[in-house]
């Protein structure tokens, strides 16, 4: 990658620096469970989660360099040691850097909606992605998704309801507009200020 502002933070890992399937317990210097946020943006969500869940290690992933810089600064200001910010593409990172059945939780908040009908095939979260994710979640691990875009939220809610390997944590609802104690991300707050509802979908990989 060229012309990227270098990131000096000790919490930062670039795709190029990461070995194939690194030893995450060595990276974090402990054996705590591992959670992944995909598309961390400015890092507000992961910093809130990591602050309140010190017994868990968080990988915050984004391919946007400026977002990684902001996320690193935010995590450093919060003096967190249980967060690493990784600049990489989600699918390539998961395949190259994680062991199957290694994640305790995955969070995806307000992914790019690709709203026009002809753009929808570019959406990150689809059947292929869910199948990929499933194999990297431990039995009992959580997958939480949020979006302001009703079509994305409802489509994913239906898609998840057909996955035999997952159990709906919001049953009997397929989606909700709030999950108690779930931190608000920058985009969630922006959409809520515009009067939009957030669609939350939450599942657990069956044991």
> Considering beta carbons, is residue 5 or 29 the nearer one to ligand SAM?
5
CB of 42 to ligand SAM, least distance (A): 7
Cα gap 207→202, rounded to integer Å: 16
Reduced to 3 states (helix: H, G, I; strand: E, B; else coil), residue 164 is coil
Kindly state the tokens that stand for 176: 């909700």
Kind of pairing between the strands at 137-147 and 166-168: unpaired
> Considering beta carbons, is residue 124 or 154 the nearer one to ligand SAM?
124
Binding site for ligand SAM (CB under 6 A): 39-41, 61-64, 67, 89-90, 109-112, 124, 185-188
Reduced to 3 states (helix: H, G, I; strand: E, B; else coil), residue 174 is coil
Task: Find the distance separating the first CA and the last CA of the chain, reported in whole Å.
Answer: 40
CB of 206 to ligand SAM, least distance (A): 26
> Considering beta carbons, is residue 124 or 174 the nearer one to ligand SAM?
124
Kindly state the tokens that stand for 191: 């959409």
CB of 176 to ligand SAM, least distance (A): 17
Task: Phi first, then psi: give them for residue 89, nearest 5 degrees.
Answer: -85, 140
> Considering beta carbons, is residue 63 or 161 the nearer one to ligand SAM?
63
CA trace torsion 100, 28, 76, 80 (10° rounding): 90
Neighbours of 6 (CB within 10 A): 8
Cα gap 42→125, rounded to integer Å: 20
- 88 catalytic? Reply is no
Q: Which of 112, 150, 151, 173 is catalytic?
A: 112
Q: Which are the catalytic amino acids?
A: 112
């Amino acid at each position: 990658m060229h012309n990227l502002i270098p990131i000096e933070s000790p919490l930062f890992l670039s795709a190029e620096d990461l070995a194939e399937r690194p030893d995450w317990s060595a990276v974090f210097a402990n054996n705590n469970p591992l959670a992944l946020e995909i598309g961390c943006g400015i890092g507000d969500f992961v910093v809130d989660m990591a602050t309140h869940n010190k017994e868990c290690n968080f990988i915050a992933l984004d391919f946007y360099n400026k977002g990684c810089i902001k996320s690193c600064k935010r995590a450093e200001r919060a003096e967190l040691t249980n967060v690493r910010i990784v600049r990489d593409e989600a699918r390539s990172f998961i395949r190259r850097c994680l062991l199957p059945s290694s994640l305790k939780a995955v969070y995806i908040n307000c992914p790019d909606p690709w709203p026009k009908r002809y753009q929808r095939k570019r959406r990150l979260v689809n059947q292929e992605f869910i199948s990929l994710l499933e194999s990297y979640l431990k039995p009992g691990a959580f997958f939480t998704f949020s979006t302001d875009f009703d079509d994305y939220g409802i489509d994913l809610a239906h898609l998840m309801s057909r996955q035999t390997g997952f159990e709906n944590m919001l049953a009997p609802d397929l989606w909700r507009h709030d999950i108690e104690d779930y931190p608000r991300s920058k985009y969630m707050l922006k959409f809520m200020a515009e009067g939009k509802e957030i669609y939350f979908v939450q599942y657990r990989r069956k044991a």
